[in-house]
Amino acid sequence: MTTPPPAAKRSRRPGIGLRLLAAQAIVVITGALTTTAVATIVGPPLFREHLHRAGVPANSMEEVHAEEAYGYATVISIGVAVAMSALVALAVSFYVSRRLQRSVTEVALAAKAVAKGHYETRVSPPNLGEDFDALAVAFNQMASRLQTVDSTRQRLFGDLAHEIRTPVAVLEAYIEAIEDGVRTLTPATAAMLRDQTRRLVRFSDDVAALAKAEESSFTLSPNMVDMGNVARRCIAAAKERYDTKGVALRLNHHREMPALWADEQRLAQVLGNLIDNALLHTPAGGTVELSCAYHHDRVIVTVADDGDGIAEEHLPRIFERFYRADAARDRGHGGAGLGLAIAKALVEAHSGTIDVTSAGPGRGATFTVELPVASGIDAPVTREADR
């Protein structure tokens, strides 16, 4: 078996410039040969026939001189034509190949830069036609998407580290204090340690739930669901927490609503996340209202509060995982920035939409969920593993 030569020793294939020049040369040579053949085989008899029709005697000196002049003119014409064609072909090939090579080289260098992690790299459209411009646009879209993914990844790792570090640091400090005899394991200390471990468990559950929701690897068990009953249960579950903080929680339910074909537990999870988020950002003395209505074959659920509100620049990203309009404040409240992302994924799994509006900081926020009465979920289809 022969060993293939090293890559450095392999003969390089001709570049696009040489290929274009070779293609043009083939066309020019083919045209020259065709013209020469026609002028040699077809031209003289036709020229001689016209001379005879014009009254020039056959085999006369006039005929001989005329044919010599014709042959000389033909050679000169073909030679000049071939030379000019070759020059034009060379110029066109050089111009086109230079433009193509510049564009291809730019894309190649940009691809190498992206491969090294420089996702901000972009290429300019070469203006060589729709195909090449589409390639440049596609490359820029790819680089932009990679830049977004990398930015999200970096933020994700940072947030994960922070969310895990805080409760772990508290646990470590208290355990060391107990071991050193500085503190004793009082009921209050045990309750605090339990809260920190629950925070870790809740965080891990939220991360797992979000991963499953975004990958559609969770179970949907659809049934006929009364949205009013789901809303009342969520209100009851959150009532104690709201009373403890001093925030009023109200339900405004439209009594004539059709049942939904949906997963009741998942819808309860959506409403629970929205209600918890509203409590997180509503100060004592504030009000949160959960409303259910029916309009144009869609059930509309809104969770409105008069709390912190959201600045306009944060609205488009509020449903991104780990995104916080005020990171320091949310971390102080214990939020991991996952509840809204989970809610969005679950609503979209029910062929619905979720949106948020706010008049600005300090003026509250309203989250709106719209679900079609005839949902896109087929009963009793499931999606792999449940949470």
pLDDT at 5: 53
Question: Any idea where the domains of the chain sit in the sequence?
Answer: 16-116, 222-372
pTM, rounded to two decimals: 0.53
Comparing CA positions, the residue from 228, 239, 293, 267 lying closest to residue 350 is 267
CA diameter of the chain: 135
86-136 pLDDT, tens digit each: 888 888 878 887 888 788 888 889 999 988 888 888 988 877 778 888 888
Low-confidence ranges of the chain (pLDDT < 50): 1, 7-9, 328-329, 331-332, 334, 375-387
DSSP designation for 347: H
With b meaning 16 or more CB within 10 Å and e meaning fewer, what string describes 362-372? eebbbbbbbbb
- Residue carrying the six token digits 């005839």: 374
- Phi and psi for 64 in degrees, rounded to 5? -65, -45
pLDDT at 72: 82
Q: What are the E-state strand segments in the chain?
A: 223-225, 248-253, 260-262, 287-295, 298-305, 353-357, 365-372
- Residue carrying the six token digits 């009023």: 248
148: tokens are 């977004």
196-236 pLDDT, tens digit each: 887 788 777 777 766 666 555 567 788 999 998 999 999 99
289: tokens are 């209202």
Domain at 222-372, CATH class: alpha beta
According to DSSP, the β-strands at 298-305 and 353-357 are: unpaired
pLDDT at 352: 93
pLDDT at 159: 67
DSSP 118-133: -TT-------S-HHHH
Across-strand partners of 302? 291, 368
Give the angle 127-128-134 at the CA atoms, nearest 5°: 75
> Cβ atoms within 10 A of the Cβ of 322, count?
21
In single-letter form, the type of residue at position 219 comes to: T
DSSP 38-58: IIIIIHHHHHHHHHHHTTPPT
- Contact status, residue 275 vs residue 312, Cβ threshold 8 Å: no
Across-strand partners of 224? 261
